[in-house]
Structure 1
Amino acid sequence: MTRTDTASRVILTSPERVYAALIDPDALTAWLPPEGMSARFERFDARPGGSYRLVLTYTDASDAPGKTTAASDVVDAHFLELVPDERIVLVGDFVSDDPAYAGAMTMTWGLTKVEGGTRVEIRADNVPDGISAEDHAAGFASSLANLADYLQP
């Protein structure tokens, strides 16, 4: 588990609005799930040392079997760092019996003000071997597109 995956996109809004959408559980359930999934939080506490449990459910489990159950991925995460309007760092673990998904993946969401908006950069370190680079890239792209749709006029 030494792979790092990254993605970025410019969102046509302020870093303040993007950051707010990254720490609001209602906003996250609206835009974070990649295409073909829905989300709900079992708990959510956005502060350094805080944590969340996210349940992602597949619309059609026959297309992509889940990591936790046939139809879902469950992620337990805790926040390491929250720098308003700049960065969020968290560590997440998939709840799974499959060792291919075991281990702590560090996710960093970086926000940089650019002309006309905010560059949102995602960096995932220590990606579990069971997550293909192609699937991860597609998931990141989908979530970033959802974020843009959620925040842009």
Structure 2
Amino acid sequence: MPVTSVTTDPEALTLTLVADFPAPVERVWDAFADPRKLERFWGPPGYPATFDRYDLRPGGLAHYWMTSPEGERFHGRWEFVEVAAPHRIVVLDSFADSRGEVDPSVPTGRMTLTIESTATGSRLAIVSASPTAEALEQVLAMGQAEGMRQAFGQLDAVLADLREYALGAGTRTEVLDDTHVRITRAFEAPRHLLWRAHTEPDLMKKWLLGPDGWEMTVCENDLVVGGSYRNAWAPVGDTAGEPFGFEGENLVIEPERRIVTTERMTGAPFPPNVNDLTMDEDDGVTLLTMIIAYPDVTQRDMILATGMTDGMEASYQRLERGILADA
């Protein structure tokens, strides 16, 4: 975790985040100068940002929104006051409406970002200053401190070379808390090909099979927000096991970037979990990240104990040997 501290100073009306990275200043700066990289971490897990405007110069504007797993959008706006590459950015930081206009219900703050060299790489400091004590209390009550900690905890993956960071590491599962699990897998393939492999039934039936000895008997998906899907599998030949399936609803669809769905085992009595799958490409390597939100810790542990990670890795290896190798 790169974040070393998140502190509040009620007298100075500031919230300050400090993070250290084993990367040069220029590489950290590039993560903020390139909106496609910025989108990969600006927003806590489950609330990725989309920038549709990013004019990095004094007087320039940026407009973005964070999309929740339920599809709700939260808009923000920056007005760049100072830009001094590769060390400093100062912005007027506002909540906004869908058009990028300032939302007056939350006072505009001032955010100062600095990047300095250290003996081991770089230190990033972000100071968010509120105009009044009431405004500081308001943003803290909205969870800004923890949101910043979670968001910048993702920056190390953006700074790393994906080939070194994840390629060849297989499927990795991390327990984030009692109800959230993060699964990552990298592929040496373009994002558009991974998107097709996850959304086209004819392709999905070729690789999404888990361990050997199973076939996908049903693959149906109304690939629109609010549409439903249903997948089912059955053992082949002498393979032990009973047919099973999953079904759910599409909550968010951003082509070639993100799919959020509910997921319930067909006929099971427990409530559904929510799967949030994102795809990020850098230099020909695509990183899949799935954040799974479970209803409770009991269901989380029950599903992890099924060997889910091993089954996913078997499917991903089949995807690499087949569809991706033939492309």
Q: Shorter-chain TM-score category? A: 0.7 to 0.9
Which residue in 1 is equivalent to 2:85? Answer: 84
Q: Please, which runs of 5 or more residues in structure 2 have no aligned partner?
A: 1-9, 98-102, 166-327
Which residue in 2 is equivalent to 1:106? Answer: 110
Which residue in 1 is equivalent to 2:73? Answer: 72
Relative contact order, CA 8 A, sep 6+: which one is greater? 1
Amino acid of the residue matched to residue 47 of structure 1? R
SS of residue paired to 2:117: strand
Which residue in 2 is equivalent to 1:66? Answer: none
Closer/same/farther in 2, CA of residues 29 and 83 from structure 1, 3 Å limit? same
State the distance in 1 between where 2:118 and 2:155 align.
17
Closer/same/farther in 2, CA of residues 60 and 140 from structure 1, 3 Å limit? same
Is 1:39–1:57's contact at 8 Å kept on the other side of the alignment?
A: yes
Q: Please, which runs of 5 or more residues in structure 1 have no aligned partner?
A: 62-70
Closer/same/farther in 2, CA of residues 135 and 53 from structure 1, 3 Å limit? same
State the distance in 2 between where 1:46 and 1:98 align.
24
Please show how residues 1-40 of structure 1 align to structure 2 within 5 Å: 3-40=13-50
- The Cα shift of 1:140 comes to 1.4
Which residue in 1 is equivalent to 2:146? Answer: 138
Deviations 1:74-121 (Å, cap 9, x if unpaired)?
A: 11211111111211111121026683xx22111111111001110111
State the distance in 1 between where 2:114 and 2:70 align.
32
Closer/same/farther in 2, CA of residues 149 and 134 from structure 1, 3 Å limit? farther
Is 2:41–2:48's contact at 8 Å kept on the other side of the alignment?
A: no
SS of residue paired to 1:131: helix
State the distance in 2 between where 1:9 and 1:56 align.
22
Q: Over the residues paired in the alignment, what is the CA RMSD in angstroms?
A: 2.2
Q: TM-score, normalised by structure 2?
A: 0.40
SS of residue paired to 1:82: strand
State the distance in 2 between where 1:91 and 1:32 align.
16
State the distance in 2 between where 1:60 and 1:122 align.
29
SS of residue paired to 2:51: strand
Q: Tell me the percent identity.
A: 26
